[in-house]
Amino acid sequence: MLAAALQTPLAFAPLSAPAVSNARASVVMESKADLEALATACNPIVGFWDPMNLVDYDQFSQGQEASIGFLRQAEIKHGRVAMAAFVGYIVQANGIYFPWKLTGDISYADIAAAGSPPDQWDALPTAAKVQILSFIGLLELFSETSSILEMSDNKHYMRGGKPGAFPKINTFLPHPIPFELYDPFGFSKNASEEKKAKGLVVEINNGRLAMLGIMGFLAAQKVPGSVPALTFLPSYSGEVMAPFTSNDVSLPYVEEMLKFSIF
């Protein structure tokens, strides 16, 4: 959740998808000039704004164009996570939950009763946290593996692939799943390139706003008064940067991790 709010390079905004052949994705590496045009299309008022000079950042000493792909992927991915987190926070904060059991002796109602969304995360059983984080790690593995990306006619985002593109899962799993993670109902299947380009710009703008929004929620809870418009939110005494609490000391290194605090 917090990772989504910590990476917002405003200069990196997608406009259009690179051309993809039927066999393999063509190599389309973005330059500073491309970013200037894309940023203007995303926000003509702000335009290309890069106060930290990230355009000259050289990630893993792979060169400017590969680093631009890395930063574009980071913003798109974290924007998507932030949009889900923002909606999820509002749902959880309003006491909306599933009516059934989460696990053997624990129901979703029990978790909801723990308090605000960060408190609800802390109240989850250790096994539930591990399952959630492991699933996220699995999705990361899928999106970072070049051989899996190539099955969906794409390349790694630092090698000319399309930033933000998630591969089709049914291309490599031995057992098919009913829906893909991206566009499960096929709404974008027959969309024009113009419509897709516009959708990408809208997605980035929404993602940026969501990153600010979810960070605002957490800041307001952790530092009361830091966000004047959100003073009605309850304070949170836990550690927003730590995925585990003292309830999870059965996991390796958690006890050592809890000795550190950023506040």
Cβ distance 196 to 19 under 8 Å? no
What's the start-to-end Cα distance of the chain, in Å? 18
Tell me if 140 is assigned to some domain: no
Residue 188 in this model has a pLDDT that exceeds 50: yes
Q: Are 160 and 26 in contact (CB under 8 A)?
A: yes
Token pair, residue 85, equals 């987190």
Q: What is the pLDDT of residue 167?
A: 94
What's the pTM? Answer: 0.83
For residue 27, the model assigns a pLDDT of 52
pLDDT at residue 120 above 80? yes
What's 227's DSSP letter? S
Tell me the C-alpha distance between 24 and 27, whole Å. 9
Range of the domain at 228: 2-125+194-257
The SS3 call for residue 75 is: helix
Structural domains of the chain, count: 1
Is 50 exceeded by the pLDDT of residue 7?
A: no
The neighbour count for residue 128, using CB atoms within 10 Å, is 15
Does 180 map to a domain?
no
In a domain, 31, yes or no: yes
**Token output for 217:** 């929620």
Mean pLDDT of 178-199: 88
With 50 as the cut, is the pLDDT of residue 67 above it? yes
